[in-house]
Amino acid sequence: MESDDSWEEAVEERLELMPKKTSIQRAVDIKIVMIHKIIWFLRKMQIPVEKPMIEEKVDFHIDERLKEYVNSLKDIEEVDRVVMLFKLLILFGIPSRIYIVLGEEPKCFIESRLLGRIREHHGRYAGCVFSVDSCLRLKDQSYHFSKSTKQFSAARYVAEGLSKFGMDRKVSGGVDHFFDDLDKERMRKIPSSIEKMKRHPKFVVESMLRRDQCIYPKRPTFGLFRGEIIYSRENIVKLRTKEQFYKMGKDIGSSKPYRVVKKDEQETRLYAPWQTCDLVVEGFGESMYQDFFHPNFIPQGCVYINNKSARDVAYLLGFPYRICFQGFLKGMPINRGIFLEKRNLYVFSNFLFQYCRYLEMKEKNERGALGFKKWRFLIRNAAKYLKIRRGLGLK
């Protein structure tokens, strides 16, 4: 064996948890990288730490001693040092929250409640920022600590997605909610720039709405932004056309649209939700096919039956029915289920059950017959093969 191929020359390769810098193009790639970095950070928080002996009683002095203790440790990266400080603060009962900066290089910082007041951080970073408290509650803090607003939507999506996995639990030292009031106070501050107002999670002004949006009700208000009244983003209402409301099972009750949008010499009439009422369908239409985009499309005195054999049974029994049209898929119409009058439902359901059992038995018998046919073919070929071998004098 050559020396180059010896086991002594083998090198162990380890998979790095922090992904290397790559050129990210798609939005889905941005979200995947964010999730990867957050999981990498959360794994660091699972590493246990030893509680040092500190005789101080005041939280401010405890914080100073813990910083001295952490800074005295050698061969530790800065991120690990901050994570260790956060976990020690929680162990000593000091309410704290750690922030993750998802930049080119991982960074983090801490906000703590000392002497009855939270020591706030005022730095700004190029990447998105997330916070993790002692309960492992993940929140998107990019709006307050990020310089750029390009990835705000991706950060909000990642935070909402990871929170659904139920990561909330105690690290050690109890639960604190002191930072919830801090988040609310930060959200109450009126933004200073147009871009910040566009991305604000709670506030909005009418000039920044799309053509198919309006605000209703126009209360409460939260002050003025460059001469415009600030409203709650929760009160944004989407306007739709008559055809869009029709597919939602709504009928337009007003002849006057809420807004008319003109584009390329074409007018689009938009209506508000309060201008609509539930669609009511009275009986069957003349056509054999009837729209079914919403439960409101079920005719009065009828039921919807979603069974692939329902149409055949209704036809064999001579019951009136209508085929449900549910749209198009790749240019092909989607017809699924039928509408049937309720007065015929009892008889129809019994026959449908028996008809489905008949089809199952028929399919089972056909499979058995097909299998028997294959076995006969196999046995016939085997007999021919043995006959040829005997003719050749072979065993």
> Where exactly are the structural domains of the chain?
19-166, 242-278, 289-350
* pLDDT value at 306 more than 60: yes
What's phi and psi for 172, nearest 5 deg?
Answer: 170, 145
* pLDDT value at 106 more than 90: no
pLDDT, mean over the chain:
87
Strands 321-329 and 289-291, by their bridges, are: parallel
Measured in whole angstroms, the distance separating CA 263 from the mean position of its chain's CA atoms is 34
What pLDDT, in 10s, does the model give residues 119-140?
A: 999 999 998 999 999 888 899 9
Residue 29, pLDDT score:
85
Helix (H, G, I), strand (E, B) or coil at 330: coil
Region 173-191 average pLDDT: 80
Region 160-174 average pLDDT: 63
How many Å apart are CA 190 and CA 223, to the nearest integer? 8
Region 268-286 average pLDDT: 94
Looking at the domain 289-350, which fold is it? Alpha-Beta Plaits (3.30.70)
* CA proximity to 118, closest of 178, 69, 55, 168: 178
Instruction: Name 345's Cβ contacts closer than 8 Å, sequence gap at least 6.
Output: 303
Two tokens, residue 188: 């109450």
* pLDDT value at 231 more than 60: yes
Residue 164, pLDDT score:
77
| Secondary structure letter of residue 190 according to DSSP | P
* pLDDT value at 2 more than 60: no
Percent of the chain with pLDDT strictly greater than 70: 91
* pLDDT value at 72 more than 80: yes
* pLDDT value at 254 more than 90: no
How many Å apart are CA 171 and CA 76, to the nearest integer? 22
Of 18-27, 323-332, 358-367, where does mean pLDDT reach its minimum? 18-27
How many Å apart are CA 347 and CA 149, to the nearest integer? 62
Question: Would you call the peptide bond into 333 cis, given omega within 30 degrees of 0 as the criterion?
Answer: no
| Secondary structure letter of residue 116 according to DSSP | T
Residue for token pair 């609509």? 276
